[in-house]
Amino acid sequence: MTAGKRTHVALLRGVNVAGRNKVPMPVLRDAVESLGHEEVLTYVQSGNVVFAARRTDAEDAAIARSLESVIAERTGVHAPVLVVRAAELARVVRDNPFPGVADHRLLHAVFLAEPPGEEGVASVAAAVGRAGGKGSRDQARVVGRALYLWTPGGFGRSLLRAELERSGTKRTPMREGTARNWATVTALTELVRG
């Protein structure tokens, strides 16, 4: 068992949004604990869980699959789960290409299962260009397994976010990842540190 240190963060995508995919946080905590994980804490209602993994040598994808399964079993909600190790979360904070953004609601990190590769990075650059052509000041950068998105006019009204989420045949990093605003990212970092 772990030595009393939270080692992982689980990020659920699309739960408790506009009254859909309801996952109560006490049920989520119980589900995570049922797999043998300890020191389980949730943060806000959007599906953020920090925990000390039962086996720290287990692959993140395997932990995510087991969480997806138990959450679906207990709630009926089939939510994709992305697991990030504490060190990776710290790296996302350290590598932030927009450190001067004062309003943390306007900066988002989109966590990805894998680095997006050249095609994914190119799709982000193309989206920035299309949004900029429509007058957007929004910016995005890919660093490792994170897509950073700065939306000075707000995330909900962001032309760049809309471009990154556009439906089509190509999969973009925005559509494959799960986004958290910077206030949540920093709060999760503090919870992992204990």
- How many structural domains comprise the chain? 2
Q: What is the CATH number of the domain that holds 36?
A: 3.30.70.1280
Out of 39, 55, 88, a domain closes at 88
In a domain, 136, yes or no: yes
Out of 28, 61, 88, a domain closes at 88
**Residues 83 and 39 placed together within one structural domain of the fold:** yes
CA distance 181 to 113: 18
Mean pLDDT of the chain: 91
Strands (DSSP E) along the chain, which ranges? 8-12, 38-43, 48-52, 81-85, 107-111, 139-143, 146-150, 178-181
- Between these two residues, 5 and 84, which has the higher pLDDT value? 84
**Residues 16 and 71 placed together within one structural domain of the fold:** yes
Q: Residue 35 is part of which domain span?
A: 8-88
In a domain, 191, yes or no: no
In a domain, 35, yes or no: yes
With 80 as the cut, is the pLDDT of residue 28 above it? yes
In sequence order, the 6+-apart residues with CB closer than 8 A to the CB of 147 are 109, 110, 112, 116, 124, 140, 141, 164, 173, 174, 177
In a domain, 168, yes or no: yes
Least confident of 105-109, 120-124, 147-151: 120-124
Exposed, middle or buried: residue 189 (CB in 10 Å: 0-12, 13-18, 19+)?
middle
- 107 bridge partner residues: 150
Q: CB of 53 within 8 A of CB of 2?
A: yes
In a domain, 192, yes or no: no
**Residues 105 and 122 placed together within one structural domain of the fold:** yes
Q: What is the CATH number of the domain that holds 173?
A: 3.30.70
Out of 43, 70, 88, a domain closes at 88
Mean predicted confidence (pLDDT) in 142-162:
94
Could you tell me what percent of the chain has a pLDDT over 90?
76
pTM: 0.91
